[in-house]
Amino acid sequence: AAELYAHLFNALRGNITALFPPPPPPSQLPGPADDVHAWQFLAALAAAASVEQQHMLVSEARGHVLTSVQLAKSGHLPSDVASAITANVNLFLNALGLDASQVAA
């Protein structure tokens, strides 16, 4: 099982951002359902990852983490949508022992 995980992880290396859907057009507000599956998958990867692999995941997902947290804290979204976006990011961050509240927006 460890070999299979390592193979999957190595295949994803450098392509983590491809897991996320493209951003919605400017006329449409982003919804928390848009990328929940990407965050769930990253959380599953992070839970089984070595420290080195976790660093790689954080490095590659950093832009999406920051963008999502900034959007949720911006005040431009309804509070339920902002809370759901934060919860999605926390799926990943909590698997690493972190929380979106620790991210400077």
For 1-32, write each residue's pLDDT tens digit: 889 999 999 999 999 999 999 888 888 877 77
**Residues 6+ away with beta carbon under 8 Å from 61:** 16, 17, 42, 92
DSSP-assigned states of every residue in 43-55: HHHHHH--HHHHH
Distance CA(36)–CA(25), nearest Å, equals 18
Stated pTM of the model: 0.91
38 Cβ contact list (under 8 Å, min separation 6)? 19, 20, 21, 64
65-89 tens-digit pLDDT: 999 999 999 999 999 999 999 999 9
